[in-house]
Structure 1
Amino acid sequence: MKKFLTISSTALAAAIALAGCSAGTDSGSMPGMDHGGSSAGPTGTSAATSATLGGAEYNSADATFARMMAPHHVQAVDMSNMLLAKQDIDPRASALATKIKAAQAPEIEKMTGWLAAWNEPAAMSGMSAMTGTMSDDEMSKLDAAQGAEAAKLYLSQMVNHHEGAVEMAKTEVTEGRNADAVALAKSIVSAQESEIKEMHDLLTAL
């Protein structure tokens, strides 16, 4: 098995463990970001309504945001770890990878913690429903790349990855109910839009 697959499964297993592995709900394919009329959790709330569980008000948009953004972040951390393990990487690219890893790892724990508190299904391992995620082939290419080629590939892939995260976060800002989740989404939009600009500038410089 490829190194990146091992990292991904281990990291996501830890995230799911933090979420308490859910409460016996169906673990089929991950829902998309279309929340219209979808069930949110044990109370059957929709995006238009909300539930209060454990003192935290939330709706299905909040649950979907956490369930999808957590594994999205896991892949970004995996990509950053992959780059940081390589030799002869431009220090500016390495510094950015370190910053992304440091920001997103604690956010994974935060979101899986919310899912556990809300008694919602934990984050899933499937990535196909999430905008901007890398395919296995794209991850393999990053794994194999070296030096300047690896830095450029990481940056171009991470731009796409960040754009997907920003899209999901903006949906949460518009449709979410939980104040903490909406605040995190706003923070993701601000931080990652800034990093997208930084990556474009760095790609031009390399």
Structure 2
Amino acid sequence: MHAFAHRTTRTLALVGAAAAAGLLLSACGTDGGGGGTSGSDHSGPSAAAPSTATAAAAAGPFNDADVMFAQMMIPHHEQALEMAGLAEGRAQDPEVKQLVTAIEQAQDPEIQKMKAWLKGWGRPESAGHGSGGHGSSGGHTMAGMLSDEDMKGLAAVTGRDFDRMFARLMIAHHDGAVAMAEDERRNGRNATAKSLADDVVRTQSGEVTALRKILDRL
């Protein structure tokens, strides 16, 4: 009887220890994980963990250059889509129309990706609260952005005149995007953001080459 009681007490003790260990492991599993980074690097938002989809979009450490890249490239892409939208009913050249479609198909999804990153990082979509207007974001200049006058001028022409002006303005706009993407490749830390920067440099450099050829023959 004494031996049975001893075995029972020992069994209960082991069960209790296992339960305590399980609780400890569970608590560790809910920790944010990952080592912190110094300076302007960030391992992730300090708030509650984002959804799985958002977390995947913003996976990995990031720094201020990554944040600025997304905050500035979003309005830059949005203006490219505005320019592409003006081609409807105005563009005449088949190659211009093809490039317009390519721009729309590439840049709208990229905007959604960058918005997801910023949400996952706990950062605002805009770098500042003021209205910087075309060409600026929170006091930061965005190369290649069209002025209000440029947009009005583009909207006022059709046919061959539109094709020429669109090609000229989009070359400058793309050159600005490529410059920002190259800055991200040099200074950014987040692998996903740097990969998109690679895509921007490759895709938009190719489109600039095509636009220059179009402009030469128009």
Q: Per the shorter chain, which TM-score range?
A: 0.7 to 0.9
Alignment of 1:27-38 (within 5 A): none
Match of 1:175 in 2: 187
Report the residue type matching 1:51 in the other structure: S
- How many pairs are equivalent? 162
Does residue 146 (structure 1) correspond to residue 158 (structure 2)? The answer is yes
Match of 1:69 in 2: 73
List 4+ stretches of structure 1 deviating above 6 A: none
After superposition, the C-alpha distances for 1:30-66 in whole angstroms (9 at most, x for unaligned) are xxxxxxxxxxxxx99755x333335531000000000
Q: In the aligned structure 2, how far is the partner of 1:45 from the partner of 1:156?
A: 43
Match of 1:5 in 2: none
Rg larger in structure: 2
Secondary structure in structure 2 of the residue aligned to 1:56: coil
Report the residue type matching 1:119 in the other structure: G
Alignment of 1:1-206 (within 5 A): 46-47=39-40, 49-53=41-45, 54=49, 56-86=60-90, 89-123=92-126, 126=132, 127-128=135-136, 129-206=141-218
Per mean C-alpha deviation after superposition, the further-off stretch among 129-138 and 116-125 is: 116-125
Provide the aligned C-alpha RMSD in A: 1.9
After superposition, the C-alpha distances for 1:82-101 in whole angstroms (9 at most, x for unaligned) are 01232x61111111111111
The two structures have a TM-score, normalised by structure 1, of 0.74
The runs of 5 or more residues in structure 2 that have no matched partner are 1-35, 50-58
Q: Identity rate of aligned residues, in percent?
A: 38
Match of 2:15 in 1: none
Residues 134 and 52 of structure 1: CA distance in aligned 2, closer, same or farther (over 3 Å): same
Q: In the aligned structure 1, how far is the partner of 2:167 from the partner of 2:198?
A: 23
Q: Alpha-carbon deviation of 1:117?
A: 0.4
Secondary structure in structure 1 of the residue aligned to 2:61: strand
Greater RCO structure (CA 8 Å; 6+ sep): 1
Report the residue type matching 2:160 in the other structure: A
The two structures have a TM-score, normalised by structure 2, of 0.70
Per mean C-alpha deviation after superposition, the further-off stretch among 179-188 and 122-131 is: 122-131
